[in-house]
Chains A and B, each alone.
Chain A
Amino acid sequence: MQKITAQIFWLSLLCGCISIFYFLSLAIGLPVIVTTLLIIIASFFLYRKMMQWLVKPEVEAEPMPPKALYILLGSIVLFCIFEIFLSRKYGDWDSITIWNFHALFLRDPEHWKRIFLYTEYAHSDYPLLTSGTTAFFWRLFYPAMPGLVPFTLTAMFCTLVPVLIYLELYKKNLQLATLTLLVFLSNSYYLNCGIVQYADIDLSFFLLGAFVAINYYKKEAKPAYILLCGMMLGSCLWTKNEGIMIAAIFGLFYFRTFTKGKNLVYFLAGIAPFILGVAILKLVYAPANDLIDGQHKVAWQNILDKERYKLIFGYISDKLNERFSAIKIGLILYVLDCVFRQRFPAKNLLMLFVIMGGYILVYIYTPHDLEWHLKTSVDRLILQLVPAAVYIMSLDLSSLRLKTVEQ
């Protein structure tokens, strides 16, 4: 792995580290100065270990070709300009009622538990990676620059997603890597979601990171990548409730890899702190989730109701056309390529379809008004999977091209 890729991973894991330490310190009542010191020590330790374990000296010695570097720097500048241009001071509905609202409570060491009084709209059972990180910095700097912390966090992930994909692809196929950057730069929905201070892009980054880590493991068979993958999946489940399902499905798909020899220890070491955080949050503090709490008698009727399926698939298709048309075309071309070459699509892409299937099951089951539920969330659920899908398809196509060139 290149140093810059490892640094991107470190930066994202720093948010997980900060939010976990901060939440646990609130739970046990540690003073903020001790928490800050612990976070600084942990982040230095994490950085050193990650550079030691993940960075290959021979890869590090290879500088990035100037052309690839200019494309990368140019697109980072463009991302920053777009994000600033589109930014809104308080974000949007979910940031006001959920993410930043939770952070407002969490920054207050005396009254933070009062967030769990909210059982409507505020979704106080949601995991705390995004709001915990914001709350930590707000605790240190509030009321100075209240919008800057959530904006920087969300804009950082919005930029890191395409940058990570680019870094993973440019050596194999610079044109394809540049195309992926353009796909994200030209998708106004992606950019908009990236700056409204929601957690969907954060989650999409961690899922993407898990795929990148497992691909490195496949190449180099170093258990450190299993640890990294565990941490990425842990971050998924510490970011949003959907992340719990993502981590479970990912774990099932790579069950044999994660349980092979010492890998299990590494995987558990990576994911355990986040599982602990979620367990404490859900079992000790948070009210029941609205989907689970709304256990309804009509669940079976919902499963057998054809109209619900029609409505769900109709919405998914509409949102794909409306928000992700370039990705949809890419997916069709990829499937055609698979048919043409008589090969199966990548296993990881299949996993994304299974995750989407899981989301569809939640919609079938939902105790809420289905149309409202779809209208308010389906595009963001697709968005969570899009970066990983772009990465998987591009990697698969570039590997194929490499093989063809070598032959």
Chain B
Amino acid sequence: MGVGALMYHVKEERKSTEMDIVCASLQPLKASIPPTSHLYYLMCQGKKQRYASSEYCLAPVFLQLDHNNKIHDSTLLVIPVTDTDSVAYYKMSAGKILWENRDSLYHYLLINPR
């Protein structure tokens, strides 16, 4: 089992997955807010996978999923980089952009309502 665990370590731990990319991009946000923060998450295009990755990467920050598609104070959006229309729409409709980041997969926005 020990040899198996070591082989797993060599095979998997160095691999960069989508989760690693999301975590690396959200790391600056996580570092800049207290762990007791409460953020809202607005689900664009209904992908729960992205919400799951975001809450995993930001833990113990509480990331509350919003079902009403509404922008609250400190709402996080994770939008695919290909969806430039949504990025532009949310940037325009937001009152204030609190934080922003981008990687090869997603555009990350932390916004306040107008």
Residues of A bordering B, CB below 8 Å? 80-81, 83-84, 87-90, 93, 96-97, 100-101, 104-105, 108, 110-112, 114-115, 117-118, 120-122, 145-148, 151-152, 155-156, 159
Known A101-B56, A152-B1: A96·B19 in contact at CB below 8 Å? yes
In the complex, the answer to whether A88 meets B35 with C-beta atoms within 8 Å is no
Complex Cα spacing A117 to B39, Å? 12
Known A101-B59, A152-B5: A96·B17 in contact at CB below 8 Å? no
Q: A80-B7, A88-B12, A148-B13 are in contact. List 18 more A-B contacts (CB 8 A).
A: A80-B1, A81-B4, A84-B4, A84-B11, A89-B12, A90-B19, A90-B56, A110-B35, A111-B60, A112-B60, A122-B55, A147-B13, A148-B8, A151-B5, A152-B8, A155-B4, A155-B8, A159-B1
Complex Cα spacing A123 to B63, Å? 15
In the complex, the answer to whether B59 meets A89 with C-beta atoms within 8 Å is no
Complex Cα spacing A122 to B48, Å? 12
In the complex, the answer to whether B36 meets A80 with C-beta atoms within 8 Å is no
- Answer yes or no: B90 CB below 8 A from chain A CBs: no
Complex Cα spacing A156 to B12, Å? 17
- Chain B hits for A148, CB < 8 A: 5, 8-9, 13
| Residue from B19, B48, B49, B56 in contact with A104 in the complex, judged by beta carbons closer than 8 Å | B56
Q: Nearest Cβ in chain A — how far from B69, in angstroms?
A: 16
Q: Nearest Cβ in chain B — how far from A306, in angstroms?
A: 32
Known A87-B12, A90-B19, A101-B55: A117·B62 in contact at CB below 8 Å? yes
Within 8 A of A (CB), among B1-54: 1, 3-5, 7-9, 11-13, 15, 17, 19-20, 35-36, 48-49, 52-53
- Answer yes or no: B65 CB below 8 A from chain A CBs: yes
| Residue from A84, A105, A115, A117 in contact with B7 in the complex, judged by beta carbons closer than 8 Å | A84
Complex Cα spacing A152 to B12, Å? 12
Known A110-B35, A111-B36, A118-B62: A145·B56 in contact at CB below 8 Å? no
Complex Cα spacing A81 to B7, Å? 9
Interchain residue pairs with CB less than 8 A apart (20)? A80-B4, A89-B17, A89-B19, A89-B20, A96-B52, A96-B53, A97-B52, A97-B56, A100-B56, A101-B55, A108-B60, A122-B55, A145-B13, A147-B12, A148-B5, A148-B13, A151-B8, A152-B1, A155-B8, A159-B1
Q: Which residue of B has the minimal Cβ distance to A113?
A: B60
Q: B4, B5, B65: which has the most chain A beta carbons within 10 Å?
A: B4
Known A84-B8, A96-B56, A104-B60: A89·B1 in contact at CB below 8 Å? no
The 5 closest A-B pairs by CB, nearest first: A80-B4, A111-B60, A104-B59, A89-B12, A152-B5
- Chain A hits for B53, CB < 8 A: 96
Q: Nearest Cβ in chain B — how far from A79, in angstroms?
A: 8
Q: Which residue of B has the minimal Cβ distance to A153?
A: B5
Q: B11, B15, B17, B60: which has the most chain A beta carbons within 10 Å?
A: B60
Q: Nearest Cβ in chain A — how far from B49, in angstroms?
A: 8
Complex Cα spacing A56 to B12, Å? 41
Q: Nearest Cβ in chain A — how far from B97, in angstroms?
A: 26
Q: Which residue of A has the minimal Cβ distance to B61?
A: A114
- Chain A hits for B4, CB < 8 A: 80-81, 83-84, 155
Q: Which residue of B has the minimal Cβ distance to A79?
A: B4
| Residue from B3, B20, B36, B65 in contact with A114 in the complex, judged by beta carbons closer than 8 Å | B36
Complex Cα spacing A340 to B50, Å? 55
Q: A83, A84, A110, A112: which has the most chain B beta carbons within 10 Å?
A: A84
Complex Cα spacing A64 to B3, Å? 23
- Chain A hits for B5, CB < 8 A: 148, 151-152, 155
Q: Nearest Cβ in chain A — how far from B77, in angstroms?
A: 18
- Chain A hits for B1, CB < 8 A: 80, 152, 155-156, 159
- Chain A hits for B56, CB < 8 A: 90, 96-97, 100-101, 104
In the complex, the answer to whether B19 meets A111 with C-beta atoms within 8 Å is no
- Chain B hits for A117, CB < 8 A: 62
Q: Which residue of B has the minimal Cβ distance to A110?
A: B35
Q: Nearest Cβ in chain A — how far from B1, in angstroms?
A: 6
- Chain A hits for B62, CB < 8 A: 114, 117-118
- Chain B hits for A156, CB < 8 A: 1
Q: Which residue of B has the minimal Cβ distance to A85?
A: B11
Q: Which residue of A has the minimal Cβ distance to B51?
A: A121
Q: Which residue of A has the minimal Cβ distance to B11?
A: A84
Q: Which residue of B has the minimal Cβ distance to A144?
A: B13
In the complex, the answer to whether A105 meets B60 with C-beta atoms within 8 Å is yes
In the complex, the answer to whether B59 meets A105 with C-beta atoms within 8 Å is yes
